[in-house]
Each structure stands twice: as structure tokens, then as C-alpha cells.
Amino acid sequence: MLAGCKNRSVQAAAPAQQQADPAPPMKPAPPTPIAVKKVELGDPTWDPQWDVYLEKALPTEMLGPKAAHDVRAFCPRFSSMTEADKRAFWAYFFQALAGAEAGLKPTTTVRHTEPEVAVVDPVTKRTVRQQGLLQLAYMDADRYGCDFDWDKDKDLPMKDSARTILQPKNNLECGVKILDNQLFALDKPLLSSTSYWSTLQPGTVSYRVFRKQMTNVPAACRASSKSQPEMHIAEIAKH
């Protein structure tokens, strides 16, 4: 037993060096219509760094055959695209979702009154608020393993950007987890009447808003070989 303890203490004193995982191949996503409009108006818009957060957060299954089947209405060529182009599509998808949900504004906070959503959040012990780019809730931290901390946030002003739930990285990464759960753990389609977001529920008003934001998907997605070249937010801002 003493020998075993000794070995463990030696290992603890000299931990093996670990190399960071290499970054996956990534490309910036083109802007959604609302992002373009915000640039034209001089308003804050989608930050290209948010593409990076999303593309790094994507699990392998969201690049695979089932994902290709799920997104075919928006990205017909998904299955034959490079990994970087697939990641860019998903970054665009979540940008469109954030446009429909929160107008691309990270500090958006809404309390809905509909009975089906006006429930008590078991984390905050208050009526649920949908918050941030993807309109998420503190109870999602327990449900999906998201990086929201109510104890840190509860004394901050409601729309304080320092709140963990309003920080784009935390909010977007949580959204990836929620959609991954819908597609693979629950084996539901991308567009479903029981989706977490009403924006992904066909037939709703918010779904029609979302569809309008999905009109400038990456060129690699499009079936036509005569697709227009992509422009990104930084390029639009120069015009």
C-alpha cells in the first residue's frame, strides 16, 4: 500500500504534459439579412468571433450523414462539402437563429406570458426568462450542461453583459448542445413541432422570420454552380 501511495505521489508531482487539441478547419459564415441591415444602419451586428465559438463547439455527429439529411432543405450539398464548409453552414444557421430569436443582440431578455413557457425556473425560483442570443434559460445549465452561473449573475443588472447567460460564447455553445440533443439524443428532425425554439417549429410566426434569415447560406451549400461569391460582415462594413 505504501508503494502504491508513493507511486501516486510521484505521478502527482510530475503530471504528463498534454498538448492542446488542434483547432478544426473553419471558415467565416456569410451574413444573414438582419446582419447586413445592422451594418447599413451602423448598429452592432454579428461578431465574426461568434462563428469561431460555434464552429469549435460542434460535435462530430453534426458534420455527419444524419446532419446532412436534416439540413438538406437549407444546404443541399452538405454531404459533399469540406469540413470547414460544414462548420461554416452551422455558424450561419445559428446566426439566423439568433437573428430571429434576439435580433443578434446578446443582452436581449424576454419574459413570455404564454402558459406553456411562463413556468418557474427551478434554478432561479422565478418565472422563466429567455435570455441572450439564443433566448435560453438558467435551467438549461442543468438540462444540457451549459456554462450559466445563477449565483454569479443574480446580483447583476438584468441586461448586464457580464452575466454568464448573456455572454455570447456561453449562450451559443449551449445552443449547440441543445440542438445536438434534439437531433441525436432524441432523434428528432431539425424542424420539429416540439423543438426547443419556436423558430424551428414550422407553421409559427417566428419560423417564418427564421426562414427569411436563411436566404444567404454559404455558397458551398447551394445546388447551383453559378452561386454568387460570398461576402462577410467585415467586407460589407467597408462598402
Q: How many CA atoms lie within 13 A of 97 on its CB side?
A: 29
For residue 3, being part of any structural domain is answered with: no
For residue 2, being part of any structural domain is answered with: no
Q: β-strands 126-127, 109-110: how paired?
A: unpaired
Distances (CA, A) of 157 to 44, 107, 173: 21, 11, 23
For residue 28, being part of any structural domain is answered with: no
pLDDT for 239 beyond 50 = no
Which amino acid, residue 134?
A: L
For residue 87, being part of any structural domain is answered with: yes
pLDDT for 14 beyond 80 = no
Mean pLDDT of all residues in 62-74: 97
Place of cell 455572454: 167
Q: How many CA atoms lie within 13 A of 195 on its CB side?
A: 20
Which residues is 28 bridged to in the sheet?
none
Rounded distance, CA 61 to CA 86, Å?
A: 11
Let me know: does 31 contact 96? Beta carbons within 8 Å.
Answer: no
Model-level pTM? 0.85
For residue 148, being part of any structural domain is answered with: no
For residue 127, being part of any structural domain is answered with: no
For residue 177, being part of any structural domain is answered with: yes
For residue 15, being part of any structural domain is answered with: no
The range of the structural domain enclosing residue 83 comes to 33-104+169-238
Number of domains in the chain: 1
* pLDDT per residue as tens digits for the range 143-192: 999 999 999 999 999 999 999 999 999 999 999 999 999 999 999 999 99
Rounded distance, CA 159 to CA 132, Å?
A: 9
Q: How much of the chain is in helix, strand and coil states, percent to nearest 5?
A: 45, 5, 50
Rounded distance, CA 107 to CA 132, Å?
A: 5
Distances (CA, A) of 148 to 1, 164, 169, 171: 42, 5, 11, 8
